Structure formats: C-alpha cells, structure tokens
Structure 1
Amino acid sequence: MLTQVLDVVDLLDSPQTSGESLAAYLRAQGAEGAEIHVETITGDDGSTDFVRVVIPGSAGKRSGGSAPTLGVIGRLGGAGARPERIGFVSDGDGAAAALSAAAKLLQMKARGDELPGDVIVTTHVTGWAPTEPHDPVPFMGSPVDMGTMNEHEVTDEMDAIVSIDTTKGNRTINHRGIAISPTVKEGYILRPSEDLVGIAESVTGVSAVVFPLATQDITPYGNDLHHLNSILQPAVATSAPVVGVAITTAVPVAGCATGASHEVDIELAARFAVETAKYYGAGQVAFHDEEQFAHLVELYGTAHHLQTLGRKAD
C-alpha cells in the first residue's frame, strides 16, 4: 500500500491541499457504487474540509445485506500548521493513513475484490491549522472543535470503529511503528481484542504493541482533563466499540513538527485498517466479547457518564 500512501501524502503536503483534491484522487480509483463526499466547515480558527468515503460491500447494509459496517476515522487537527510551519506536519499522519486505506479499498473494489461489509472512511483536510501547547511537546489544534469533528466523522452506520491518529507526543509509548488500544465502548475500557492483536502482528510481523489508556483519555475534550490525544474521542459519540490505531515513535515528537512523518509507518496503520475491514465485514473478527460486556454492565451498571463532560463543581 505504499503507493497509495505516497500519493496521498503528496496531495496533503501543499498549501492548496483540500478535500476536493483528495476526492478527485479517490474518484480516479474507478470503484463503481462508491460514495465520496466533501463538506467545508468553518470554525473560529479557519475552515477544514470533511471527507467521507463509503465503499459498499457485497453483503453490506447499503445493499440490503446484514454484514457489519466498519468505520475508519483519520484523526488530526490539521495536515499543515501554516503560516507558523511550512510543510506536512506529523499530526497529519492519521488522515494520510485513513485516506490511503480508502484509496486501496476503492482500487480493490474496482478490480473485483469486493469486501462483504460496507466500509465508511472519514477524516478532514486543512493545511492551515493552529498549534497549541501540550505536555511534553506541542500539539496541533484544529479550525473546528471536537464536537464538530465527531458530528461529521462518526456515523450511526458504523458498527465498530478504527480510529487512526498520530500518537507521538508522549513518553508512554516508546516504540516506533503502530500500536493499538484496548477496546473502548460506552465509557468502559475493555480488554484488548485478541483478533485485532492478531491482525496487528500479521501486518507488522512482530509482537503487537498495545498502548495503555487512562480513564481521562476516553472522556470528551473540554473537561480540563489531560488527554493522551484525540485518538479515542470518537468513543464519546457512539455506542459502537472503538479501537485506536496509534502511529508512534520511540521518543516524543511534536504534532506540529514537519519532516517527522514516516511513510512506512503510515502504511502499517492503513494496511491494518484494510485487513480489519476484510475480516470484520466477514464476521471473522470481533472488537469485544459481547457476552462479557453485557455481564460487566449487569454487574456494575452503565458508564455513559464518562461519555459526557461530567458534573460541574458548584
């Protein structure tokens, strides 16, 4: 999939990058029946283009079938931090991976390799995003707030979600490549999916790295709590199980750093998403144990409050 990654990164690494330029590239893959939409949203710090790609499956719900639908979300603040920084920033890797996965799935469908389930890929594209302070290294901000991102990137059709995000600005993950999170569902951090651990090991050829999560990492932005990053923010907006796929480094790297993206690592994340889509739509992998989750809720109640901003002190 390195071909798709190189194409997508080249399109993102431009002051003129846009959702329409990426959509034109995706449409050129020639997949019949696919849906590619671009919507420009303006916020307090500028505008960004939300891109949504729907790749229908042979037995997917879009065609009246019952195969489950996978969502693949590319998380980021922006692909560029102009005018403060010149060039493609590390934070853009999540969008690059998601769009590369979409390109590959569209190409597969055009060639006759049709997956059983529908796949919905969403992200947003802007080369002009703000930066913001964060410990231990600066993060990228975004022209729009997190609620707007979730509104345009998380859909009710998604039965499970892979959320891809650059996760380099920390001292928790000391590994370069990709790492996956435990499954997060309705405010609970569940055990890592054995099926997805297997896919990660197949894709990378080495032991899977599963990164730790704290409770505050899965709560919404805006509550004044420290978050690892936005990788699990889709989990606050859905009841579907969510697994984060982190593109990682062995040392802290700022999200607004340029010249810090490794195309081979972006490719690993994109290929993980494609392989997950193959097996999830066929009902051959699970993000969580449904019986165990039901028993957990039976014993301890729901944890939906962790998907909200919580109680405010008087």
Structure 2
Amino acid sequence: MSLRQTLQIFELLDDAFISGQQVIELFEHCPRVRARTWQVDGARGTTDFVRIDVIGSNGKEAGGLAPTLGIIGRLGGIGARPARLGLVSDADGAIAALASALKLAEMQGKGDVLAGDVTIITHICPDAPTLPRTPVDFMDAPIDDVTMVDNEAIAQAEAILSIDATKGNRILNHKGYALSPTVKQGYILRVAEDLLRIMEATSGRAPVTFPITTQDITPYGNGVYHLNSILQPSTATPVPVVGVALCSESLVPGCATGASHEVDIALAVKFVVEVAKEFGHGTCRFHDEDEYQRLLALYGSLATLQKRA
C-alpha cells in the first residue's frame, strides 16, 4: 500500500518553513538510495529542488542494462503564502512524486530491490505566487519555465512519468487520476497498453485517460493555450513522456487549499510504483518503437514542436 507514505509526505510538506533539506533527510538511512537538494533563485522567489535516485540491482548505476525510469512531480508551488495558508491543490504533483520515492526506498530496505534505477525530481516552494487564469486561477512558480524544465531534466531516463494536479479545466471531469497519451518528440502517440493494464490492476476499475492537443506539448511562453504544464517535460527530452493527472469532477483552482485528496494521490502513487517495478524488468513499454519509426519514415520528425519560443 502507499497511503501511509502519502500521508507522511503530506504532513511533512504542510509547513510554512519546509525545505528541501527536510525532505531528503527522510532518505538518509535508506539503502541503495541517494538524495540531494539544491536551491534555485528566480525573479519571483526561490525554490528547493529535490532529487532522489533509487538504485536498481541491474541499472546503469550498477553497471547493468535495465532501463531507467524518471518521475517528475510537476507544480508551480506547494503553497501560496501569505495569501493562502496551507498546502494548495497544486502540491499534488510533489506529494505523489515524493511518496513514490519513499515507497520505493522503503521497498529497497525490505529486500524488494528493483531491477532498474528510478530517479524522482520535484521542487519545494511553500510561498509561490499565483497566476490569474481562465476558468480558474493557477499557481505560478518562483522561477521561469526554462529554468524549471532545465532543473527537472533526467538525462539518463528512458521514459518519464510527469505527475501534476490537473483540476482547473473542463476537459477532465473525473475524481482520481488519469493518464495522457504518450508524447515523444512532438508526436502524440497512442495511450500505452501496458500503462492501461497497470492502471486497471492497481485501481480495480476501468482505466481513465484524458485528451491532449498539439498546444499542450509545446513549450510554455509561446503565446498559445495549454491545458496545464503536465507535459512540459516532453519539450526537453527525446524519450517518451506520459502525464499522470491528479484530477477532480469539479473545477478547482490550483491555488485552492483543502483541495488535495489523499486517497486519490495514494492511488496514483501505487500506479507509479508498479510502473517502476515493471519498467525496470522490461515488461512495461510506454510506446511501440517500431510504430514510432514508421511515423518518422512516413511523415518526418516533429521535434520542431519542442523548440522554445
């Protein structure tokens, strides 16, 4: 189960004075786990990035061949102090990513060592600015979009899950979590069958997906509308990226407090952990590489969509 880890991370982050150092201290005594934090300054404040590497038995860190999974907790900030007190809805991505890291780290200590490496990155900002937006306000970030993407980069990953609260829209009307189609270098590919299978097994329900558009997979700052930032990691990597959206039936501002649902986050964490297990063992694919190469042969590269404005 992953509910305890979710609650532990939730309570840790619900603190006006939380720092990246406090987060990585959770992992200090975990075997085969490396954690570090660094501060990044921006025009609108500062934030602490956190990176946790869970070292697999046959991953690159051990000189093996098992693939590496990247997990990114996407958000503007976990809090909007002093305007709003407490965790905001936008914190869901950070909570889910860190709870996934904690669960995987604890598994390592209990003898369940994954085959491949897993790298988890998110950032911790309890006093981020807000952003006026239609239909509801979003959280902004203390740093610019380019700096955000650069600090989230996981160069060694062969696939990435990007976790983000996705509640401020009328496109995704489901309480829980949902999956995006796979995105790879400008192509919106079919929803991965292996991920649907894992979602069915971990949720006990039919899988839920959400639509994305070409605009959503282009870099922020180009003047076009984006559903949110969930697929921004796809603009800076050649590997396949899938969005894991924490969602709601109602419209919820990203800066709303009291709007995170611990059980929903824990379900997403369970899904992410199972993907991490299978990806390292080679039993979970994010896309069909032969089909992708066929698209390239027929229509050419769409990597121009990754170009920053």
When normalised by structure 2's length, the TM-score is 0.98
1:57-76 aligned at under 5 Å gives the runs 57-76=56-75
Aligned to 1:26: 27
CA contact (8 A) 2:27 2:33 kept: no
Give, in angstroms, the shift of residue 11 of structure 1.
Answer: 1.0
1:1-314 aligned at under 5 Å gives the runs 1-27=2-28, 30-309=29-308
- Quick one: which amino acid aligns to residue 4 of structure 2? T
- Residue identity (%): 53
- Quick one: which amino acid aligns to residue 212 of structure 1? P
Once residues 153 and 282 of structure 1 are traced to their aligned partners in structure 2, the CA distance between those partners, rounded to angstroms, is 25
2:108 aligns to what SS in structure 1?
Answer: helix
Unaligned 5+ segments in structure 2 are none
Please give the root-mean-square deviation of Cα atoms over the aligned residues, in Å.
0.8
**CA deviation profile, 1:249-286 (whole Å, cap 9, x unmatched):** 00110000000000001111111111000000000010
Give, in angstroms, the shift of residue 204 of structure 1.
Answer: 1.1
Give, in angstroms, the shift of residue 202 of structure 1.
Answer: 1.1
When normalised by structure 1's length, the TM-score is 0.97
- Quick one: which amino acid aligns to residue 223 of structure 2? D
- Quick one: which amino acid aligns to residue 21 of structure 2? E
Q: How many residues align?
A: 308
Give, in angstroms, the shift of residue 26 of structure 1.
Answer: 2.7
1:286 aligns to what SS in structure 2?
Answer: coil
Give, in angstroms, the shift of residue 31 of structure 1.
Answer: 2.1
**CA deviation profile, 1:157-196 (whole Å, cap 9, x unmatched):** 0100000000000000111000000000000000000000
Give, in angstroms, the shift of residue 147 of structure 1.
Answer: 1.4
Give, in angstroms, the shift of residue 9 of structure 1.
Answer: 0.7
**CA deviation profile, 1:1-54 (whole Å, cap 9, x unmatched):** 111111101111110111111111232xx3223110100001001100000000
1:182 aligns to what SS in structure 2?
Answer: coil
CA contact (8 A) 2:32 2:108 kept: no
2:78 aligns to what SS in structure 1?
Answer: coil
Unaligned 5+ segments in structure 1 are none
Q: Runs in 1 of length 4+ with deviation above 6 angstroms? A: none
Give, in angstroms, the shift of residue 72 of structure 1.
Answer: 0.5
Once residues 271 and 35 of structure 2 are traced to their aligned partners in structure 1, the CA distance between those partners, rounded to angstroms, is 22
Once residues 295 and 145 of structure 1 are traced to their aligned partners in structure 2, the CA distance between those partners, rounded to angstroms, is 36
